[in-house]
Each structure stands twice: as structure tokens, then as C-alpha cells.
Structure 1
């Protein structure tokens, strides 16, 4: 089946199959532009994976079916007053391999504006055909944390067994759902559980690219998914950004006091065995909001890695050479005790034994096998 061949099946031509159609992978990672993503953390993480790991197209969804072009306008190119092309927004499912060759399906692009149920049903069928066992999604969330401390990453999941040891929520939350969370809930009803990774981004950096949070997301995903994902470029960008912001903060006493207050709050919670979250009420920034105003002038003059807030890397900053970095990202569990996906899947399998034969050993979902999961690269 070629890239240009319309998929003729019950989907009704909702996607075009790509060269990697039929590939198999145990993990589905989803991120859509347009949903909540403070610091463009999820977008930067996806770009880092695509840029460093490459990718083979599994499916390209029909934009005309799912996207309102008024909310995601096509980009027109004009050269010497002549229209030379129009680039329409694209939702794609790609196959990538981590540094050890483990396959991951990556669903990315603008968040669909319509037909969420139809879209999720289509993705569910593709996921089951590919042998997906678990899904992940990634976001940045604004929080009362300082840029001088590691980035906490919290886990929201469709099953309690997927939630690691982390600070408990103070109560029930209700909020408009992003499609990634909607998709995970629908996938869970078909037997594919999911986890959303939420990186806490300093509230004063929420509207600007924050590579440290993207690095933390990939680090957490590596731990939970038993993957080896590259963070070298993000670590370099984070180091440069933090150094520049810190220098600016030190030159402004009022801003420095605000950051110091955030640091004291962060450290106090760390000593108590908890960590700041978006719902944490321990920090009151109502009296000191100057930091956002002061940083705005600086950040407005920087080449934003997230073009238009979508996370598009532009200019020379897209070409950072890979550098050696830590295997885990800031904010990872210090004791290294984070569960891998296999640990979680084993617990889930033990809970879903065949009721007709309770003495039978639990089925163990295959997360690692000796033979390739997918068609060899290049075929």
C-alpha cells in the first residue's frame, strides 16, 4: 500500500496509510498542539524525538474531516507575488525507534476540532492492530515552582495501578478535557490503559519555551516506558535558558525576592515529602507578580523555540549538536524506584485473570520480545 493510496475499509477513508502501515509497537505516545501545554513542554519533547530519532509514517489523517481551518489556518507561501504553495495542518501517526531500537507509535499534530468520537475509534483500531499495550500523553502545566529547581512530573492515569508514589490530590478536579486525555479514556474501555505525564512549569515561563520541562517529560517517559530517549539538545537548551534567566533575575532585586520565595516554598514541600502542583494552595503569588513583567521584556527579544506557542523550532536553535547528558532528566525520582511499564502491566495482568480458570497464571502482555515487533526499517 502506497502513501497516496486511500485506505478502503470501514474507516471510510479517514486516513491515508503510510510506508510503515502494519508496524507493531507496544507504546502509543500522543501529543496535540492547541491543548494545554505550558512552556511548550510536550511540543518540544515531540520535536526532539522526531528530529533525533527520525520516523516512518504509519498513517496520515484526513485534515478535512477533523480540522477547522479557521482555527488551524493553512500556511501559504508567496514568492515574488506568486503563490507557490499552501501547507495544510496535518495529524500524523509515525513510527519511531528509541536509541536501543525499541518501537514507539507517535501520534501528533494539531488537536482535532471535530468528530472526536470518530477519531478516537479510528485510533483505537490502529492501536489494536499495532499491538499497543499502553498509551502515554505529555503536557506542561503552570505551577508555583522556581526555574532554579528540578521540574516535577506528575502522573494522571486511567487505572490506579499506573499511578506511581507521588503527592496526593487535595480534592476532585474538573476541567475541559484535551483530546489526548479523552482518547486515553476511550482507549481504556477497549483494554489499553493510559497515563498522562504532567511537567510543572514555572508560571512565569508558561507562555515561553521551557526546554527543562520537555527534558523532564522525556526522562519520565523513559523510566515508565523502559525506553532510551535522547535529551541532549533539550538539556543544552535548558542550561542556556536557565543561565540567562538567572542572570536577569539577579539583576532585579524585586524579582529575585519572588524567586527566593518560590524556592523556600519548593524546598519546604520537598522536606515534607511532597511537591508543588497546579492545585497546591501553599504558595500565594498575589503580592509579587513583578517577575512576569520583568521577564517579558527579556523573553520577547529571544528567538522562541516554540513558534507561535506551538513548539516549532526555528533558526539556529533547531540545530544544537547532541551532547552527553544525564540518563535521567531533572525531576526524576531520586531513588530510581519508578515502576517500568512491564511492572505495571504485570500488576494489571494479575488483576485481570481469566475468571473461568482462577488458578491459571496471569497473562503477561508482551512488552519486550526477541523478534522484531515491526517490519524492518527500509522495507
Structure 2
């Protein structure tokens, strides 16, 4: 493997201690981002966090330009602009001034292991203690119910009280997933949130999922991320979704069916949890046996 550090260029002259932060959010697009969950969140954070570019990746080594051509603007008789892709590490501040890092840009097409090594170097160099990522996945759930999520982590202790929705399965890989795997092997704490987006909204902006993603990051990291503008954007999305569904009775009927299925599933989960609680309160077989032995000794007068 070629030197991973050749992929990185630091954009600031300050010492690493002045550029680092405890938390790094990783947002590298990838195979799927239902509801544009990650994109909406990243755009919001960059717009409200006074970002400073700490380091940049040599994107020319990593992208297949012919596979996903960047957009250019043609203005009457000349080319006016070019949306050059970039993969940057930003340093931002939350509402209380606490710094955090955000690695954002298009998922590299090439050299995944080398990119992961470069990311791990940045984690070590900048004193990162927790890496977080989030994106949307399509699910057969209605938009009228709370946004669910699948949690995953390099250490189960990072996601206590987690109730997995999926069993073991094989899924297409992504660079973010590989980052989580390699960080786990290096014993670095990393947590991911896959937000459950209604499958009929997978190709649309679904702000509720982005808000839920921000809330999950806040709950995990303690950062005070701005969410008010994002929540207002989600309200606009909900209104547009309601308008479109009202205009299409077939979709409205399908959503109603999913609502019934969702409510039945939640009720079943609650019953299962209640049963588990009740069962946990029952004495074990060993405890029952010990009490029985004690009772028999008392009845027979044995010491």
C-alpha cells in the first residue's frame, strides 16, 4: 500500500492540539441515503457551525469522474462554473462553542483501505475519541409514525438498551462501513445510526429523518447541535408529503395499511417487553429449590 498520508493535505498551520476535537462525524455518502438524510444533516451543520477546513483529501486519486460526472454550468456561449468535488475534514463549533470534526464528501471509488488508514491517522493525530456516522435506509414504515433507527457500534456498551431489528445478513459494502470495521479492530469507539425512512419517500428529502439523526448524535455525544431550522425544514417536507398523499387515494390506502402493521408490531414488542419484565421478576429454579429445602427442614424439624 502506498503511503496513506500522501492522500492528505493539512490546510491549517496550527498545532494539532488546536485543531482537534473529541468527536468526529463521518459523512461519505455511499450506496444509499434514503430521504437524503445524511445530505440534509451535513448541509445544515456546515451552514450553522462556522466550518474551517482542517485537512483535504486528494480527490483526483479517489474518484471515477466518468462514472459520476461533476456538473458544469454552460451560460449561453461559455462554460461559467464547475462543481469540483471535494472530500474535506472540517472543524465546527456547536451552539455552546464545543468543537467537533466533520469529514464530508463523496465516497471514494478507489483505494478504500488506503483512505481508511488516512482517516485513522487523522483520528489519532487530532485526538478523536468517538466517531459517529448516520444515513437513511428505506423501510416499509409510515411517515406518520416516529422515525426508527438501526444502531451499530464497535462496542455494544456504546448503544445500551439497543433492540436489533435485523439478524445476521450480508449487505453491499460502503467506505463508511469499512471505517467502522477497521476502527473496531483498532479499538476506537465508533457508532452508527441508520434511520428508517419510508420506502415511498426514499428518493425525496425527508427532514424528519435528518432531525432524528441530529437528535441521536446529540444524545450520544452531548453536543449542542442546532436543530430548529432543520425541524422547520422537516415541517415543510411533511406538508408537501401530506398534499401529495391526499391527491392520491391509492397511496393513502397503502400508508393506512402500513400504519396498522406498524401499530401492531409496536404493540407486540411492548407485550414481549412486559412478558420479559414479568418473567424476570419470578424466582429462578435454584431459588425455588432452596426455599423448598428450607421449608421441608422447618416442617420436619431438621437442623
Q: TM-score category by the smaller chain?
A: 0.7 to 0.9
Q: 1:224 aligns with which of 202, 220, 226?
A: 220
Residues in 1 aligned to 2:204 and 2:166: alpha-carbon distance in whole angstroms: 28
- Rounded to whole Å, the distance in 2 between the matches of 1:101 and 1:155 is 27
Higher helix share: 2
Question: What are the Cα deviations for residues 10-40 of structure 1, in whole angstroms up to 9, with x where unaligned?
Answer: 5453122112762111111111124310010
Unaligned runs of at least 5 residues, structure 1 = 1-9, 275-379
Q: Structure 1 length as normaliser, TM-score?
A: 0.66
Alignment counterpart, residue 238 of structure 2, candidates 236, 242, 258: 242
Q: Quote how far apart the aligned CAs of 1:148 are.
A: 0.9
Shift of 1:85: 4.1
Determine if the alignment matches structure 1 residue 173 to structure 2 residue 166. Answer: no
Measured in 2, the distance between the counterparts of 1:138 and 1:123 equals 17
Over aligned residues, Cα RMSD in angstroms? 1.8
Contact 2:137 2:195 in 1 (8 A): yes
CA contact (8 A) 2:150 2:164 kept: no
CA gap of 1:100–1:80, structure 2 versus 1, over 3 A, is same
2:203 is aligned to 207
Report if aligned partners of 1:39, 1:206 keep a CA contact under 8 Å in 2: yes
Among 42, 53, 68, the residue aligned to 1:46: 42
Q: Choose from 60, 67, 72 the match for 1:64.
A: 60
Match of 1:78 among 54, 70, 74: 74
Displacement of 1:239 in angstroms is 1.4
Residue 6 of structure 2 corresponds to 13
Between the two proteins, the alignment pairs up a number of residues equal to 265
CA deviation after TM superposition for structure 1 residue 114, in Å: 0.5
Cα offsets for 1:14-67 (capped at 9, x unmatched)? 122112762111111111124310010011111110011120101110011111
Indicate the SS of the match to 2:56.
strand
Q: TM-score, normalised by structure 2?
A: 0.82
- CA separation in 1, counterparts of 2:217 and 2:43? 15
Equivalent of 2:86 in 75, 84, 90: 90
User: Which residue of structure 2 lines up, in the alignment, with residue 330 of structure 1?
Assistant: none
For the residues of structure 1 that align with 2:267 and 2:40, how far apart are their CA atoms?
A: 31
Compare CA radii of gyration and give the structure with the larger one: 2
Contact 1:94 1:105 in 2 (8 A): yes
